[in-house]
Structures are given as structure tokens and as C-alpha cells.
Amino acid sequence: MINFKNIIAEEISKITNIEINEISKFIEVPKESENGDYAFPCFKLAKTLKKSPNLIADDLKLNINIPENIIEKIEVVGGYLNFFINKETLATEILSEVTKTENYGKSNIGEGKNIVIDYSSPNIAKTFHIGHLRTTVIGAALYNIYKYLGYNVTGINHIGDYGTQFGKLIEGYKRWGSEYNLDENPIEKLTEIYVRISNLCKEDENVLEECRNNFKKLEDGDKECVELWTKFKDLSLKEFQKVYDILGIKFDSWNGEAFYTDKMQEVIDLLQKSGKLIESQGARIIDLEEYGMAPCLIQKSNGSSTYATRDLAAILYRARTYDYDKALYVTSYEQTLHFKQVFQVAKLLGLDKKYTDGLEHISYGMVLLETGKMSTRDGNVVKLEDLLNEAIERAKEIINEKNPKLKNKDEIAKKVGVGAVVFNDLSNSRVKDEIFNWDRILSFQGETGPYLQYTYVRTKSIIEKAGGLPSFENIDKKYLLEDSANKILKILYNFEKTLIQVTEKNEPCILSRYLIDLAKAYSNFYNENQIITEDKKIQNTRIFLTYATGNVLKIGAKLLGMEMPDRM
């Protein structure tokens, strides 16, 4: 498609002899449509050109030579140069592109670049609760969007299957395993054992020491400990898969912490070789005081490994295996210090700077209960599977109330219910904490997932009533020049740019807000214009715009991890 911004930047660059990239950085998109589609603030050049912004604007307007079929009007307002795109050309560009591809906005800008995304990563033998929802859906959305832009993406579920907590669970199972039937609700039973042993550890330091020793035995390959750990892991993965199936999420790798057991010694050897690994109270650490951080614990005093050791081994492995340009870690902001430490220590492993520069922690706010923070140890969690199933049931109730004769109600209820939960999570900035509330999360009013789905279903219904999609040759762009249609076209034009912005900030809510804006713009267009009319030229044109809108809503929703129903 025509890059209007680039054409403007090229023309200003030619006149001023200032680098095109420099000019491009200054070009803005005005908030108010009466100020044009693009604006160039001439005061940015006042110092370089030694003229007042108004004079610069007047000179530029006089000398700019852009055909009217590209830019139909240029205005000077208070030192700004405002550019108005030719509406008919914009309509032609958008709608012809929609006819050419089912993957509107798809790009190859990421071609040849490798992205690794570490997300979801629940702990085995613990409840897969709503606290895991954010990492799971944020990571999955980023995975989809990077892939759509042509990147080679590897999604990794770095399962929490190692650490002292498994020493605790093993100890609890040794003591009370015969009391529990793990054939039914295994995660709940293992959680009960974990809560029980954790409480005992609080009361008796000797029990806690036994748990630590169990983990060391597990690392050393003790037969009983390994067998129990394997049992817990297999039961957990089977339960986790139920949630991933509901969400429609898949991973390219399930290599968890335990995968790096035989790879940690190399990390210790490399750090030893760097001269930075020192002993402290029997443990081995990297001193990070010069970076304003606490020491990074590499090896505990009993010889067992730490999260940091395993994450460093994972960085080494991923650099060698995936040759990544970026490695994204989608975890809560509670782990910010941990990743700052790990990323700093990774510079001592002798890796190419490309790999250490590519490490990025994608933090997000916590999901909190109205009573406070969730804790598996304290047993106050909401299961993610329960949340999703509840959302589906509530969606089904609404369907039964509003459209009881609807076919495929179960399938549609699943799309609507799961879509409501996913969109709710991705509709706000990821860094904000979210207080969990059943009614708000499952609301089907306002700027929600179901609102997007309803708008999409409306576009499908209108096209069906019109007898299908007309051919591109049978539309007349002059019927898309009025404001409500032009607003939709401008939003559609920015779809690819929006996806790129998501990857620049690793922030899926940018796409969520875009889709809400598009749905609102279409609702406004629908309310202001009769789409099914006696004038077939007008009808065909408006139907084609309706199709383009629905198409982008569906693509955008799918990238976020939502499915669109054909009926509601």
C-alpha cells in the first residue's frame, strides 16, 4: 500500500536537505481530524533553518510537490503543516488490498529474525490458577503477532518442575501419600499435601531441612525422589493441557527447569572462569553491588542449584539452539529484580553481545483477589479452569435468554466466554495490577470481547442479507468520502502499524484498543448510513467496507487469542 507518511517525509527532506529519517520522526498524527491526517511541526526545524516556524511552514507549502491524488490538501496552522490524504485514493488502497489477501496487515518485516518467548510456565503439582492467566494470554498474543509480522518465533513453556518446593512435596507425600487418591483431582490433592507440609515446615525447622535434602537428592538422581517427581509432573501436565485446550494455546517447547539439570555445571564453570564467582557463607554468588543490586545466588551452601542457575543455563541453551535476536520473559513484576540480576550475570558467560542485548523481561501486574494476594501455600486460589468454564456457562445463560433457538450454542458459548476472559486481560496495560472480580471479568457490556464479537457477527449478518460480497469492480469509492466511512478507512490503514507498535512495546493492549476503536467506528457508520439500499452502487460500496471491517476484526481478535462466532 501507499506509504503516505513516507511520501511526505521524502518531499520535506528534498526541500530542506535534512535526512528523511529525521523528518519522519517528527511527523505526527493529529488527534482531531480537522487538523489533517498527518502534521509536521515546523518549529522542529527552526534552529537548523534559522527561520520562524510560520515562515518554514509557508515555504514548505509553496514548494511541496505531491500529486492531489495522494495529498488532496495542505494547510498551515500555527507553525504546523497539516496534510489531508486523498480520501478516494485511501479507499482504493484499503479495499483493493482486502480483496488481494485474507491476511490483511501481514508483513515480512521480521523475516530472518528469531524471537524466543518464555510464557505461562506454571509450577507442577500446584493449582493452575488465575494468576497464570496473564503470562499465558500476554505471551500467546505476542507469539501470534510476532509470527504474523514474519518473525521466526519459538514459544517456550518453561514449566516450574524443579526447586525446593519439590523437596517439600516429596517429603509430604512420603509422610501422608497413602491418605490421598491422586486418580481424582490430582492437582487439588497435591496442593493439599503441599499446604500441609508448608505449614509443618513453619513449625519445625528440621522438617524444612529434610525438604531441602530431598531436593538435593532429586538433583543427585535418587531413585525414589525421581520416581515421585516424575509422577507429580505427568499428572500435572495432563491437567494443564485441559486449560491450554480451552484457550487454544500451543507451545513449541515444554523444556522446564529440570531440562537444564545437566547444563548447570557449565554455567558454574564459566562463571568461575570469569573470576566473579565468589564464596559467601558456604554458598557461591556473583557480587552485583556495583550495579546497585543484591548478590545473585548461583549455588546454595548444600550444593543445590537456584532459579538463577537454571535461567542462566536456559540462556546459554537458547542462544545456541535458536540463535535469538530477542528472548522475551513474560512474568510478573515481582520477578523484575531476579531478571535484572540474571541478565547482568549472563554477560559473564562469554556469549555474543547480540544475545545478552536481546534479553528482555516483559513484566505485568498481578491478579489479586479482593481479599488480597493469592497463595498456593495458603490455599486461597481460583482455578483457571473453573474461571473459564464459569465464563462459558454464563455466556450460555445469556444466549438462552436472548437467542434460545441459536444453533451450536455450546460452541458459540465457548467462543464468547473464553473471548470475554482473554480480552478483559488484554484490554488494559499489562503493567497494571488487576483485582479479580467475577462480575466485571464476565461482563458482556461496554468495551469487552463480546462487544467485538457482536460487531463482527453484525458485519456477517449484513453481508448475508445483501446476498454476499460484491465484486471490487462494482463499488464506487465516492460513496466512502463522508466522515464516518473515512474514519473506518483510516483505522483500517493503520492495522499493520498497530501490530508493529505492539512488538515495539510488547504491549497487546495496543491492539485491543485498536479493535475497540474500529468496532465503535463501524457502529457509528452503521447508525448513520443505510447499508441495504435500492441503489446497488451505494449498497455494494458499503457492503465492501463492512466486509473489510469484519475481516480485520476477525484477524485482530485471532491474534489476541479470541475466536469469532458467525452468529450470536
Least confident of 174-188, 430-444, 453-467: 430-444
Q: For residues 387 and 130, is the Cβ–Cβ distance under 8 A?
A: yes
Q: In this structure, which amino acid lies at residue 298?
A: I
Q: Where are the domains of the chain?
A: 4-85, 114-163+224-368, 384-560
Average of per-residue pLDDT across 377-387? 74
Q: How far apart are CA 310 and CA 317, in angstroms?
A: 10
Question: Has residue 380 got a pLDDT over 80?
Answer: no
User: Is the pLDDT reported for residue 110 higher than 70?
Assistant: yes
More confident residue, 440 or 106: 106
- Within 8 A by CB and 6+ apart from 67, the residues are none
Cβ proximity of 312 and 348 under 8 Å:
no
Residue 372: band (very low, low, confident or very high) from pLDDT cuts 50, 70, 90: low
Confidence of residue 433 (pLDDT cuts 50, 70, 90): confident
Q: Is the pLDDT of residue 180 over 70?
A: yes
Task: Express as a percent the part of the chain with pLDDT over 70.
Answer: 97
Average pLDDT over residues 419-426: 93
Q: Is the pLDDT of residue 96 over 60?
A: yes
Asked if 507 contacts 131 with a C-beta cutoff of 8 angstroms, the reply is no
For the segment 337-362, what is each residue's pLDDT rounded down to a tens digit?
999 999 999 999 999 999 999 999 99
> Strand, coil or helix: what is 439?
helix
| Contact of 475 with 541, CB cutoff 8 Å | yes
Distances (CA, A) of 389 to 126, 381, 392, 453: 19, 16, 5, 19
Assigned CATH for 4-85: 3.30.1360.70
| pTM confidence score | 0.92
- Mean pLDDT, to the nearest integer, of 528-536? 94
Residue bearing the bigger pLDDT, 408 or 219:
408
Specify the pLDDT at position 64: 95
Rounded CA-CA distance 63/66 in Å is: 10
Higher pLDDT, 477 or 366: 477
Q: What is the bridge-based pairing of β-strands 326-332 and 367-368?
A: unpaired
With a cut of 80, say whether residue 37 has pLDDT above it. yes
Local confidence band at 526 (pLDDT 50, 70, 90 cut-offs): very high
Entry field: residues in the chain: 568
Q: Is the pLDDT of residue 375 over 60?
A: no
Q: Is a pLDDT exceeding 60 seen at residue 326?
A: yes
- Per residue in 139-157, pLDDT (tens digit) is 999 999 999 999 999 999 9
Q: DSSP code of 122?
A: P
- Dig out the grid coordinates for 71 from the structure: 495529498
Amino acid at 512: S
C-alpha distances (whole Å) from 511 to each of 232, 416, 556 are 38, 19, 7
Name the grid cell of 146. 510476532
- Dig out the grid coordinates for 50 from the structure: 534559522
Instruction: Give 150: exposed, middle or buried? Use CB within 10 Å, 0-12, 13-18, 19+.
Output: middle
Residue 370 has pLDDT above 80, yes or no: no
* pLDDT at residue 368, as a whole number: 72
pLDDT at 130: 84
Q: Average pLDDT, stretch 212-240?
A: 92
So what's the pLDDT on residue 444?
66
Give residue-wise pLDDT tens across range 8-31. Answer: 999 999 999 999 999 999 999 998
Instruction: Report residue 531 as a C-alpha cell.
Output: 447499508
User: Is residue 193's pLDDT more than 90?
Assistant: yes
Q: Which residues contact 568 (CB under 8 A, 6 or more apart)?
A: 399, 403, 406, 412, 416, 450, 453, 454, 457
pLDDT of residue 434: 77
Q: What is the pLDDT of residue 147?
A: 98
The predicted structure's pLDDT at residue 302: 83
Q: Are 336 and 258 in contact (CB under 8 A)?
A: no
Closest of 207, 336, 313 to residue 263, by C-alpha: 313
Q: What's the pLDDT score for residue 150?
A: 98
Is the pLDDT at 488 greater than 70? The verdict is yes
H/E run at residue 463: helix 449-465
Partnered with residue 155 across adjacent β-strands are 117
Give residue 304's pLDDT. Answer: 83
Q: What is the largest distance, in Å, between two alpha-carbon atoms of the chain?
A: 88
Question: In the 8-state DSSP scheme, what is residue 129?
Answer: B
CA–CA dist 20, 373 (Å, integer): 51
Instruction: Give the pLDDT score at 376.
Output: 52
Q: Give the pLDDT band of residue 533 (cuts 50, 70, 90).
A: very high
98 pLDDT above the threshold of 70: yes
In CATH, what class is 384-560?
mainly alpha
Arithmetic mean of pLDDT, 180-201: 91
**What grid cell was written down for 194?**
503441599
Output the average pLDDT for the chain.
93
Same fold, 4-85 and 114-163+224-368: no
- What is the grid cell recorded at 381? 486460589
- pLDDT given at position 377: 53
Handedness of CA 413, 418, 419, 424 (dihedral sign): positive
The predicted pLDDT at position 163 comes to 79
Is the pLDDT at 79 greater than 80? The verdict is yes
Given a contact cutoff of 8 angstroms between Cβ atoms, the answer to whether 88 and 481 are in contact is: yes
Strands 326-332 and 114-118: parallel
* Proportion of the chain above pLDDT 90, given as a percent: 80
Beta strands in 287-377 (DSSP E): 296-299, 326-332, 359-364, 367-368
Q: Which fold has domain 114-163+224-368?
A: Rossmann fold (3.40.50)
Q: Residue 565 in contact with residue 410, Cβ under 8 Å?
A: no
Is pLDDT above 70 for 374? no
Among candidate residues 203, 199, 127, 198, the one with its CA nearest the CA of residue 165: 198
pLDDT in the model for residue 564: 97
User: Band of the pLDDT at 392, cuts 50, 70, 90?
Assistant: very high
Query: H-type helices in 204-347, by residue range?
Result: 205-219, 223-247, 264-274, 307-322, 336-346
